[in-house]
Structures are given as C-alpha cells and as structure tokens.
Chain A
Amino acid sequence: QVHLVESGGGLVKPGGSLRLSCAASGFTFSDHYMSWIRQAPGKGLEWLSDITGSGTSISYAESVKGRFTMSRDNAKNSLHLQMNSLRVEDTAVYFCARASIAVSGMFDSWGQGTLVTVSS
C-alpha cells in the first residue's frame, strides 16, 4: 500500500528557509516521478515541481523557480523540498504526490500534507 508522509512544516519569518521531506513506502520509489503541490488556505491546488525517478531532471513552476529546490534520495525512499527566500504568499499546505511511472502530472497518491506558515 502506497504511503507518503510529509514533515518539516512550521512557522517561519519572511525571507527565511525551510526544508520539507516526504517519506515514501509501499512501492518502488525510484520508478516514479514525484511532485510537490501546495494549497493556500481556502484556495485551490498549485503544482510546484516534479522530479524524474532517477532524479536527473527537475521542473519548477515559475512562482518558485530560483527559490525552491527539489531533490530525492532513492536509497532512503525520500523526497525533499528546500524552500528559501520564503514569502507570506508561500503560506500553504504542501503535499507530496506520486505520479505514474510513465506520466508525470498524473498524481495517483498523495501524502496528508504539511503546513507552512510564513509570517512575521
């Protein structure tokens, strides 16, 4: 059974940094694209970034490009999102999501999310 558990959220001041993690289990982690998606309070879903199974190719949304860095450790079945230069508008629940083996963008399993609050 696929299981994704995010951690690392919390309260941070504008301009600060935070590192999110996602622990994966129940599937062959290195086979799958993985993504980060966020949801601001009371708002819709926003895709942020994805990474190939090997970790060699990463894509970002313009809203986070240059500030956020996605990575994965296939030996530890873990996914990470390093978030720098955080802004108030980055406040959201951050989800990690598994995409299918062949198709990035088809999110078939999600974690429960971790809340990031950016406030002074």
Chain B
Amino acid sequence: DIQMTQSPASLSVSVGDRVTITCQASQDISNYLNWFQQKPGKAPKLLIYDASTLETGVPSRFSGRGSGTDFTLTISSLQPEDIATYYCEQYDHLPWTFGQGTKLEIK
C-alpha cells in the first residue's frame, strides 16, 4: 500500500496567516492526489484534485502544488472558516489511502 505522510500533525494559526501543509507519498503517484477539508462532525469536502485543480466553489486562497511524491496545500490568508482538519489522499493505486490529517487550531 502507498503510505501518505502529512506534516505537521497540528498547527496553531492566526487569521490572515499563510498556511502550508505538506503530504509525502511513499512512492511516485504522479499528480493523483486530492486534498479534503473536514470540520468537526461533518463529512470531508473535496478542495483540490489532481494535486492542483481547485474544485468548483472552493475559494482561490486555497492552492495545491506538487507531483511525484511531494505535495503541498497552501492557504494564502487564513480565514476563521478554514479552521478544520485537512487530509491528502492518493488515487494512483488501490487501496486509496489518506494522510493522517493536519488539524488547524487558532493561536
């Protein structure tokens, strides 16, 4: 199975901060990577697919980069509604696997 390693596990942030989360795959997954946002008690929401394509309706402050094994999710200017846990997921090889999550907390 492809292991997805996210860092950091948690991050204390302030409104307006530029936030970057990294995700590393245990093998080359090309650009077959999604980013999801999950708020407490809610289902995950797709933010970015194919590593860098913004899902319809997602604010442009979110961006994704990377290919191969190293990927990043960036929030250019954190808003209060962005406080959540973020997951990466690879869909290059079954079984589809997720990172362990990065929880954003207000400083």
Q: Measuring CB to CB, which residues of chain A are less than 8 angstroms from any residue of chain B? A: 35, 44-47, 50, 59, 61-62, 95, 103-113
Contacts and interface: CB of A to CB of B under 8 A. Distances in A.
Contact of A45 (B89, B91, B94): B89
Given A45-B87, A112-B43, A107 B34 contact: yes
Closest 9 CB pairs of A and B: A105-B91, A110-B43, A47-B96, A45-B98, A105-B96, A61-B95, A44-B101, A44-B100, A108-B46
Interface of B: 32, 34, 36, 42-46, 49, 55, 87, 89-91, 94-101
Most A CB contacts (10 A, CB to CB) among B46, B91, B95, B96 go to B96
19 contacts: A44-B98, A44-B100, A44-B101, A45-B89, A47-B95, A59-B94, A62-B95, A95-B43, A104-B96, A105-B32, A105-B34, A105-B96, A106-B46, A106-B91, A107-B44, A107-B89, A108-B46, A112-B42, A112-B43
Nearest to B90: A105
A105 B94 CA distance: 8
Q: Is the interface of B mostly helix, strand, loop or mixed?
A: loop
Nearest to A6: B43
A105 B49 CA distance: 10
B35 to A, nearest CB: 11
A105 B46 CA distance: 12
A57 B46 CA distance: 25
Contacts of A45: 36, 44, 87, 89, 98, 101
A46 B98 contact: yes
Nearest to A95: B43
Contacts of B36: 45, 107
Given A103-B91, A107-B46, A108-B46, A44 B96 contact: no
B99 A108 contact: no
A106 B46 CA distance: 9
